[in-house]
Amino acid sequence: MVLNPVISKLTGKLVVLASASPRRVEILRNAGLRFEVVPSWFKETLDKGLFCTPYDYAVENARQKALEVARRMPFKHKKTPDIVIGADTIVTVDGMILEKPKDKNDAYRMLSSLSGKEHSVFTGVAIMLCHEEEHEEVDYQLIDFYEETKVKFADLSEDLLWEYINSGEPMDKAGGYGIQALGGMLVEYVHGDFLNVVGFPLNHFCKQLDLIYNQSTSSSVQKDECDLNRNGTDSTHSLNDSAAPTSCSSSADHPIQSSPSDSPAHKVQRKSSETEVSKSSLTVGNNEEHNGTEEGECEPTKEEIERIMELLDGFKASKALFTASKLGLFDLLHSTPGLAAAQVAQQIKASVKGTECLLEACASLGLLKGAQGACQRAVYENTELAERLLRSDASFSLLGYIEHCNDTIWPLFSHLESAVLEGTPQHGKAFSKKNKDLSQKTCSNSREVKRRFMNAMDSIAKVTGKTIATAFDLSAYKTACDLGGCTGAMAHEFTKAHPGLAVTVFDLPAVIEMRDYFHPVHTDDRVSFVAGDFFQDELPKADLYILARILHDWPNEKVCVLLRKIADACTPGCGLLLSEIFLEEDRHGPSRGLLQALSMSEGKQRSVSEYSRLLESFGFSTAHVTHTHNFLDAMLCIKV
């Protein structure tokens, strides 16, 4: 069974894999399928205890991943897919579902439970067919199935277990092992589909596509589908907005254990699996052959062209935002809304033509809204987004950070080609003075340059501070030290969120002496400031140390110096709260951290597992991780 018989029917159609797993991507691409990867945002927090069997749980996760991507794409990506493929792989042993380990100790628990035993690997797969109806509505039709493979582990010694765990391979894999790599040395035998253990049951998937696309009559589709349903492995559904995941009324006969951290399910119902399926209702695409310029090469799709256009024009949107902010456009339209282009031009001392172009561009970006004024002239005012984030006097204004991006980051990235070729920062080319330490707050003797940098950090801290401060229960801590805490904006959010906490801001003397420029009216006596260099001077004593936007900036040797000083200052039970942009484990998909790394600074962007391994080497165990969907994520580690 190969994919070739159905590829021609998918030509020119948008096939989407709702997973960033590099293993699934490789399996499907090796089979010849052309598709786009759009990782699902579905949070895998379904209550395992609600499901009769482990495979029901895996199938439901796959369904929800596929459905989330299918519903998001028309709005977020401005395109409707034809097919969305969702998948979820789990390992089960002794009635317990094993997913990806949270840390090394969790990996040890999982692998120990598999040692010397046979276990099952289930992959649930959902194929979502999307049909655009009238009035831009989309009809979703679902075919789902699961595959089971039996795997037997050898008896594993402690040394072998920890050697494998310390390799780092278990951390992003269901059950804590990867059979296609080092994990293969743990396995005595495999009964069933090997690729299913890797992460995707290709053979079963091909058979299902053949059923959808290559049956000669609709009756044969119905007959085969009914036969598969009786086998309990495949089903077809129509979806509506009011449904919930299929589960048992009682799980007593088929107990599936769940951890205390499992949260309530995100519920989407499905109709009865007896829904009739005809060939015409399932067919996606047409039978036309490609008309590419070379044999086997298709013309680019509309979606592919649109995606490249988005990337090509991205810098233009950024510069429009930077320019509007620098000219005070959002402050002006806050104080005097409803101005025409000529009136705005007069106020900001710019040309009418240029101002009109800028206003229209900002309106197209959703930063301004236009209306018809007197004499049929367009007039403009801020959107709610601009009011909340782009005014200079807004509580959560990002204007300082926008100014920093325009004046510092933009010039650096204008020399990106040189940065890539040389592998070094481009401050010398970007600025008239070689301010090599611009990002470390000691950039020059200019008070104004320092103020601008601190203003940028202050604006980020205001927007992210509450999210970071409330990410974890910190009631066990009475004192905290915010290392490199700059203006104290983050520290104030911590004291507001935790009434029993006092925070010391520790930063360079030049930073501390300028703090009143940003917070002259703060009277919170639970926030104090101490001047010093955290690489050289003794750190203030605290129960909790905060590192927000610090580690990514420095080379490994200095990171190790700082973490050693923190570890030496900590006693068992002390906390370290790390806040950075956490990279995806497989580096797949768009990432602000990966783009930021192109500045070629001496530092390094890391994933959760990379930060965990780094901190473990200094005696810290990762307790909790939160992906905030804000500028920064957060991780709480405990000194052991």
pLDDT number for residue 258: 40
**8 A C-beta contact, residue 544 and residue 577:** yes
Q: Rounded to 5 degrees, what are φ and ψ at 18?
A: -85, 50
Which of 239-243, 460-464, 592-596, 613-617 is modeled with the greatest confidence? 613-617
pLDDT number for residue 134: 65
- The class (CATH top level) of 447-639 is alpha beta
Considering only 86-95, 157-166, 295-304, 569-578, which range has the smallest mean pLDDT? 295-304
Q: Say what the pTM is.
A: 0.50
Please check the confidence at residue 442 and state whether its pLDDT lies above 60: no
Residue 471's Cβ-count burial label (10 Å; 0-12, 13-18, 19+) is buried
Q: What is the average pLDDT across 145-167?
A: 91
Amino acid at 246: T
pLDDT tens-place string over residues 404-425? 889 888 888 888 888 888 888 7
Token pair of 63, please? 């369904």
Q: Are strands 83-93 and 96-98 parallel, antiparallel or unpaired?
A: antiparallel
pLDDT number for residue 634: 94
pLDDT tens-place string over residues 540-592? 999 999 999 999 989 999 999 999 999 999 999 999 999 999 888 877 655 67
**8 A C-beta contact, residue 215 and residue 221:** yes
Q: Are strands 527-531 and 575-580 parallel, antiparallel or unpaired?
A: unpaired
Owner of token pair 């007959």: 223
Which of 66-80, 378-392, 507-521 is modeled with the greatest confidence? 378-392
CATH 1.10.10.10 in the chain: give the residue spans: 303-394
Q: Tell me the C-alpha to C-alpha distance, in Å, between residue 156 and each of 95, 171, 173, 190.
A: 21, 18, 18, 17
The stretches of 36-86 forming alpha helices (DSSP H) are 54-76
Higher pLDDT, 631 or 232: 631
CATH 3.40.50.150 in the chain: give the residue spans: 447-639
Residue 58's Cβ-count burial label (10 Å; 0-12, 13-18, 19+) is buried
pLDDT number for residue 585: 80
Q: In the annotation, is 88 catalytic?
A: yes
pLDDT number for residue 246: 47
pLDDT band, residue 3 (cuts 50/70/90): low
Token pair of 2, please? 């190969």
Q: Are strands 138-153 and 187-191 parallel, antiparallel or unpaired?
A: antiparallel
The closest alpha carbon to 50, from 244, 232, 272, 251, belongs to 251
Amino acid at 369: K
pLDDT band, residue 181 (cuts 50/70/90): confident
Considering only 87-91, 205-209, 388-392, which range has the smallest mean pLDDT? 205-209
- The class (CATH top level) of 4-254 is alpha beta
Considering only 193-197, 331-335, 447-451, which range has the smallest mean pLDDT? 447-451
**8 A C-beta contact, residue 125 and residue 86:** yes
DSSP output for 396-459: T--HHHHHHIIIIIHHHHTTHHHHHHHTS--HHHHSSS--TTGGGT-S-S-HHHHHHHHHHHHH
Please check the confidence at residue 189 and state whether its pLDDT lies above 70: yes
The closest alpha carbon to 546, from 514, 507, 592, belongs to 507
pLDDT number for residue 271: 33
Dihedral sign (CA 104, 108, 109, 114): positive
Considering only 16-20, 44-48, 314-318, 349-353, which range has the smallest mean pLDDT? 44-48
pLDDT tens-place string over residues 445-486? 467 777 788 888 888 888 899 999 999 999 999 999 999 999
Given the residues 47, 56, 82, 88, the one annotated as active site = 88
Name residue 234's beta-bridge partners: 145
Owner of token pair 């005097």: 336
CATH 3.90.950.10 in the chain: give the residue spans: 4-254
Can you point out the beta strands (E) in 303-401?
A: 339-340, 368-372, 378-382
Token pair of 456, please? 């940028």
- The class (CATH top level) of 303-394 is mainly alpha
Helix (H) or strand (E) segment spanning residue 158: helix 158-166
- The Cα–Cα gap between 629 and 461 comes to 15
pLDDT band, residue 631 (cuts 50/70/90): confident
Q: Are strands 502-507 and 479-483 parallel, antiparallel or unpaired?
A: parallel
pLDDT number for residue 263: 35
Helix (H) or strand (E) segment spanning residue 615: helix 608-616
pLDDT tens-place string over residues 8-55? 667 778 999 999 888 899 999 888 888 999 999 988 888 888 888 899
- The Cα–Cα gap between 56 and 71 comes to 22
pLDDT number for residue 89: 92
- pLDDT averaged over every residue in the chain: 81
* CB environment 383-400: b (16+ within 10 A), e (fewer): beebeebbbeebeebbbb
